[in-house]
Structure 1
């Protein structure tokens, strides 16, 4: 049993933005939370990659438009070096091609720079717990908007069905995620409890080696499982 007198383990967050005032604002919000701790700040992508290795943060808040190395390429390099890295792209518009590029590079979601403090802290906690920081519906909207950036349907399809490792129920869950349904909506559709749905989602992600629900939606589109 956990001793309530012991200090709570804090989530380690790395801030990446070329504007010092933006970083300061985020730091003030995060440091006011007992379970969050800023372990470093970077002003460009090159510094972000270096600090990601040095500080091993639980979550990285990543701007995209920066000098020397942009946030998308920095995200790609960080994820390549550490597949467990959890990155939230910071953007100005919710359907921004930079946010889309960040998701394709391996980010677990995106957040508007003017998000309320509660939204910021909730997104960090969600991503650290392995959940996506954006809904499946927004992911799907982005994929539809940028459909021309995706491979043509079937272009990345393997000789064997990429979902062959899934059970029929797990494949249904994958397609439901691709439709942007929440766990509650999936449960209602298939008459399952939310805990059962969560178990199925976890198995789908593990079997397909996907980082989170966002990348499950991307996987479904790239493999021609749903129509854009």
Structure 2
């Protein structure tokens, strides 16, 4: 797993590099110190995951995420910050970031990286508990009008609750391939890009 770390605190970046490289399946390809450098490093190395701070000088992690995801829609970006700020979390979700973790929760970083690498979206426990309240701003949505059937709606609910395709398949007694087909159909019908946007859409229209 090739990872780029970007943090304007060189001590934090160095500590993360040291901690993560103890694991034989992880290679820290490069480190950077601001959003502009994150964009340049991503273009050069195209890592499996970009682990990036949010608040940085010159260009923030959110600004860099927007630029990178515009150029590389499949980029896996895991945001790491000391600030549990609702506005940042919502922006990260809407941008399509694959995760948002608090730096204080060091124990969760390695499992989060592996989960993101496997295709999941991850958020710290404290953040997950607050997402519904943060995004609950619109009246109930008529999924029938978008031709979303009961099975697809159930899959949307499970995605919003953090289930992976494998877990959804187990819950609904389906194959993972069938779940992927349902997800593709859901994305097409709701005109969304990925499962993170599905979760955001669900909580906004709950």
1:6-85 aligned at under 5 Å gives the runs 11-85=1-75
Equivalent-residue separation in structure 2 for 1:33 and 1:101 (angstroms):
31
User: Which residue in 2 is equivalent to 1:211?
Assistant: 194
Note if contact 1:136-1:181 (Cα within 8 Å) is conserved in structure 2.
no
Equivalent-residue separation in structure 1 for 2:176 and 2:182 (angstroms):
10
1:89 matches 2:79:
yes
Larger Rg: 1
Unaligned runs of 5+ in 1: 1-10
User: Which residue in 1 is equivalent to 2:172?
Assistant: 192
1:141 matches 2:124:
no
Unaligned runs of 5+ in 2: none
CA offset at residue 141 of structure 1?
2.6
User: Which residue in 2 is equivalent to 1:202?
Assistant: 180
1:130 matches 2:113:
no
TM-score by length of 2: 0.81
Equivalent-residue separation in structure 1 for 2:181 and 2:95 (angstroms):
23
Aligned length: 200
User: Which residue in 2 is equivalent to 1:102?
Assistant: 92
Of 98, 102, 108, the match for 1:112: 102
Helix, strand or coil: the match of 2:78?
strand
Equivalent-residue separation in structure 1 for 2:112 and 2:167 (angstroms):
21
Note if contact 2:35-2:58 (Cα within 8 Å) is conserved in structure 1.
yes
User: Which residue in 2 is equivalent to 1:7?
Assistant: none
Note if contact 2:169-2:179 (Cα within 8 Å) is conserved in structure 1.
no
CA offset at residue 17 of structure 1?
0.7
TM-score by length of 1: 0.74
CA offset at residue 182 of structure 1?
4.0
1:170 matches 2:148:
no
CA offset at residue 181 of structure 1?
6.4
